[in-house]
Amino acid sequence: MKAKFFAILVCSVMLFVAGCSDDSLPVQAVDDELTQSELLSSTVEDEEEPVVEDGIIPFTESQLEGYGIIRDRLPADTLVVINSLEEFDYYISPGEEPEPLTFDFAEKTLLVAHGWATNGIDNIAKEIVKAGDSYSLTVTITLNDTHVVPEWLICLVIDKIATDEVSFRLLKEGGTVVSGKRDTGYIVGYNGCGLELDVEQGVGKAEGYIFISEDAKDTLTIYKLPEIFSFPVELFDGYVKYKWNVNYAFDSEYAHQYKVQLKYRIVDAGEVAAEYNFCTVPAIHIIGAAFKKTAFAFVEEAVEIEEVVQF
């Protein structure tokens, strides 16, 4: 009995796998030009792709540990849709020890955006919505009143979408859009972009400077500073000698030499980049590292203050 059952099972398996003909089974005529894969697909019903309903699309956030964005390929306040490892490698660069990705581009899509705020950030809300064949991402950044310029970055993983076009809406709420604010403090450093050095005259100037308020509560990277000071060329020696590997602060002996009263307007990185060819990057990453916090400002008025030295 067992031997008979085994023989029947083997025959059934061979019939299924090899397609053995039997008078009792219908035989499908095979075109000589039909490939094996086409034959199989013609005998099996196509699986229907899952239908994504309209409405809010769920997502997970990826920290991309050990990776960094390539900023000259991903402008601030814009969104990129990444559907493959090739696209990922174009916009994202690995560090020394990148963590393995926790998602597969065969099944997932990655949405990446970044930018800078004009104030400190309390919260970043994200919402992805599908309407027909269209997708949209809305990012709402809630700002506070602190004068810092944090960079924000979002990396959202969603189920695979068959498009690289997702509309992007960026909203900023709260914070303070300062115009006409006055403050007194010191010019203590510079932004290395756009230096003009006149070695013969022994003077130099930069497109942007670092300003610290007298009470040390506010740090600004200021642009459009009138030429009220004559900066000696040696103040910029660090940049001339070492290029990017330099702290943009003036030497300590000059820390209280350039006192000024400013009237200024807080601006965001995009406004600075539009006029200064994106010279915000060293200001954020090097100046920011040295001074812990910095905001961007366009100077509306500037007056030199000469301190009275008492003997």
Give, for all 311 residues of the chain, the pLDDT tens digit.
444 444 333 333 333 333 433 444 333 343 444 444 444 444 444 555 556 678 999 999 998 889 988 888 888 888 999 999 999 999 999 988 889 999 999 999 999 998 877 778 889 999 999 998 899 999 999 988 776 667 889 999 999 998 888 999 988 887 665 567 788 999 988 877 778 888 888 898 888 888 988 877 778 888 999 999 999 988 887 665 555 545 577 888 888 899 999 888 888 777 777 777 655 444 444 444 445 456 778 888 888 876 543 33
How many Cβ atoms sit within 10 Å of the Cβ of residue 138? 14
Domain annotation covers residue 100 = yes
Residues 138 and 193 in one domain: no
| CA–CA gap between residue 13 and residue 48 (Å, rounded) | 28
Question: Looking at 174, 208, 224, which one is the last position of a domain?
Answer: 174
Question: Looking at 114, 144, 174, which one is the last position of a domain?
Answer: 174
Domain annotation covers residue 111 = yes
| CA–CA gap between residue 73 and residue 92 (Å, rounded) | 9
Tokens of 284: 């954020």
Residues 160 and 220 in one domain: no
Residues 185 and 300 in one domain: yes
* Domain interval for residue 260: 179-304
Residues 170 and 129 in one domain: yes
Residues 119 and 141 in one domain: yes
